[in-house]
Every structure is written in structure tokens, then in C-alpha cells.
Amino acid sequence: MFRVNRNPRHEINGNQIIEWNLQAGESTFRNFDPPTTGRWNYGDPVTVKLRWAKNSPQQPVPIPPAIADEQTGTLIFKYDAPWSLLRMLVQHAAPAGDLDRGVDIDPQTLVFTAGQKNANDGKDSGAEQGVKVFIRVRIYAPGKTEPLKIPAFPMQAP
């Protein structure tokens, strides 16, 4: 689900994004499609794309790990590692301060951020005019009906 956690204390300029999609392996999920299930397998890449309207007064400026496709006004977050889904879940997990109750009661809420620039002059509009949006995904073990809560994983070995 796209644009969850829309409280103005958390989301910033989410209305600038006209389209989003998440691709995991051969499954693709889009903001206008009804909720559905897909399958991710070890080694499958995961990609999240956020697209701005062509005539929008603001255009995206990527913040790593995102890259931008300036032709389409799209930010692309791509994960190709064998554990790509887990890497995305860890890197984009919404911190407690970004959640109304201080805890993610409906896992997994992910946060994606970007800068913006004025479309007319190309100047960065400043950090206060950036974008911060939330996407919620639910991960299930095969044959299960309860979403998995992904435990906190270290980003590197001690």
C-alpha cells in the first residue's frame, strides 16, 4: 500500500508522486492495482520506482541508494544482491519516530526519501522541500496467513 502514514508530521510532499511500483522477481505491484500477492525467491532483484508528473513544478533529486531517470521523472531504488528483499526492508524500515504509535503495528512500513529541484531552473529546493513517503508491504511465509515481522538485522558482521 502506497502513501500510508500520511500524517503531515511524517509524510512530506507525497502528493508530488503520481505513480509508484514495486517489482520483486516476476511480481509487480502498482499503486492503482488492487492488493495482491506475489512471490520473491532468494536471488530475485527488488525494485521500487516513484514517478513524478511530467509537468510537475518539482522534479526528484536522488539520495543514495536511489538513482534518477530524468527522462521520466522517476526515482529508482534497486536491489540486486541475493537477499535483495531483506536488504530493502532493513534499509528502508521506518524508524519509531516516523510512526504515530512509535511502533510498526502493521509490518512492514518502509520510508523512501528524495530531494527535489525546481523543474524550471533546476535549483535544489532545499531539504525542507524534499520528499518522504511511506509504503507498506506484508511479507508472508509460504502457506501462512499472518505477516512475518522481520527482526532487526545488523548491516554488517561484528
Question: Residue 133 above 60 pLDDT?
Answer: yes
Q: Which pLDDT score, from 0 to 100, does residue 52 have?
A: 92
- Could you report the per-residue pLDDT of 8-17, keeping only the tens digit for each? 778 888 888 9
Phi, psi of 99 (to 5 degrees): -115, 135
The pTM of this model reads 0.85
C-alpha cell at 147: 505477516
Contact (CB, 8 A) for 58 and 13? yes
pLDDT band at 108 (very low <50, low <70, confident <90, very high): confident
Between residues 5 and 29, which one has the greater pLDDT? 29
Residues 137 and 35 sit within 8 Å (Cβ to Cβ): no
* Lookup: cell for 6: 500520511
- Whether 32 has a pLDDT exceeding 70, the answer reads yes
Question: What residues are paired with 28 via a beta bridge?
Answer: 23
What is the pLDDT averaged over residues 54-75? 90
Residue 126 in this model has a pLDDT that exceeds 60: no
